[in-house]
Structure 1
Amino acid sequence: MAIMPMFPLESVLMPGMPLPLRIFEPRYLAMFADIMTGDAEFGVVLIERGTEVGGGDQRFPIGTVAHVRAYYALESSTMAVAGGGRRIEVVRWLDHDTYPLAEVRDLPALEWRPGLADRHRQTERCVRRLLATASEYVDVPWSVDEELADDPVTAAWQLAGIAPIQTIDRYALLGSTSLTQLFDRIEGFCAEAEELIRLTASPFELDD
């Protein structure tokens, strides 16, 4: 168990994914001032109900440790870029006068097996196909030819991070207990998203 500063967000941070932040709330400015004197790490969890600003939100328990890579103090705010690392689960939230603090435990890392290479490539094709389809109708933050990490486990998490799917679906991916389950879920959510695109696109666009 560890005590960790926490940053609840309306998005899910996946291991291996970047997290740009603009920090302006006094509680999080104080949090960053504290963590930058130590290991520069904090936890990120998805907000279940409420908003990022003002507090009083309810939060999902599974999250990701973020490590600050760059930090720029401005006149009225702070810009930071962090990277997603290991997964954690909140055991209990602690009373803290300034910013959210929780007791957390690490979740087991997913293990790679050589026999997963073909499955990994299949899942990657599904994600890139969905990115190509979605980009024809909406702005997507990731390109079809987005580069992935050389490490296959990190690359698998990055596929979960760049797939243009619903936030709650991405949270389900974060809770995967094996790479096989992660691949199954990614492909399932991508198939659902592609079907939704087909249903909402006009017949003229589809025939084109």
Structure 2
Amino acid sequence: MTQEPTVLPMFPLGSVLFPGMALPLHVFEPRYRTLVDDCLAGEPEFGVVLIERGSEVGGGDLRRDVGTVARIVEAVRFDDGRWGLGCVGVRRVRVDHWLPDDPYPRAEIADWEDEQVGPAATDLLVEVTARLRQVLAATAELGLPAAPATLELADDPVLASYQASALAPFGPADHHDLLAEPGPEARLAHLRHLLVEETEYLERRLAMASEDLGPPDDDDRPRPEPGDDPPDDDT
């Protein structure tokens, strides 16, 4: 007997949601207000996928086919019909088939579990944690937004690989590629490669900033104007 496909409401976004990570949402577009109404009337879950090309508002977007199921854990409805949601990613999914928007996006999906943890995952996690802290500290030193460099990751390599991927200061395309890795070992190896490249880039930027802010030359130091009293010797 053929099993009926799982159909899930979908919320394409310009960012990537990883399993185990929080997702705050401000829902104002009418079709997505309807999505929230339908979710809260039944199973409070919807899928989140990255928009490859297009906009979050208005439709006509091109969507990726790997995403994460978000579960609504908090919902506040405003007087004008907008929703404020607190959600959390619960599991990874593949989109098998996109259905027509009615009125919001829907898709036939299948759960996509991570591969088993490989023997190299533990050592990779230790290295990735150290490199991620280094990147976050350097990013903050440059005055750019970053998570605290004192972060602690989960002991479970699968969840930790998702946490590290989410906290790494990369763009949506890199985040999506990390989400789409088959398992934690491949994800951590990919993340290590990205962090090595990012470290080299940040070190160059810090070196340039240090040169720009180097000690002033003698000619640049302030000199007393004629008639100024010289400083006291005992102060």
TM-score (normalizing by structure 2): 0.82
Q: How many residues end up aligned between the 2 structures?
A: 208
**1:42-88 C-alpha deviation (Å, 9 max, x unpaired):** 00000011111111111111101111111111123111011112111
Question: Considering only aligned residues, what root-mean-square deviation do their CA atoms show, in Å?
Answer: 1.9
1:25-104 aligned at under 5 Å gives the runs 25-76=29-80, 77-104=82-109
User: What residue is the counterpart of 1:172 in the other structure?
Assistant: 177
Further displaced range: 143-152 or 181-190: 143-152
TM-score (normalizing by structure 1): 0.92
- Looking at structure 1, the residues matched to 164 and 9 of structure 2 have their Cα atoms a distance apart, in angstroms, of 27
Q: Is the 8 A contact 1:149 1:155 kept in 2?
A: yes
- Looking at structure 2, the residues matched to 69 and 205 of structure 1 have their Cα atoms a distance apart, in angstroms, of 46
User: What residue is the counterpart of 1:109 in the other structure?
Assistant: 114
| Structure whose alpha-carbon radius of gyration is higher | 2
Q: Does 1:135 align with 2:140?
A: yes
Q: Is the 8 A contact 2:53 2:62 kept in 1?
A: yes
User: What residue is the counterpart of 1:118 in the other structure?
Assistant: 123
SS of 1:9's equivalent in the other structure is coil
The structure-2 alpha-carbon separation of the partners of 1:139 and 1:70, relative to structure 1 and needing over 3 Å to count, comes to farther
Which runs of 5 or more residues in structure 2 are unaligned?
215-235
1:180 positional shift: 1.5
User: What residue is the counterpart of 2:15 in the other structure?
Assistant: 11
Q: Is the 8 A contact 1:17 1:83 kept in 2?
A: yes
Further displaced range: 150-159 or 165-174: 150-159
1:97 positional shift: 2.6
Which runs of 5 or more residues in structure 1 are unaligned?
none
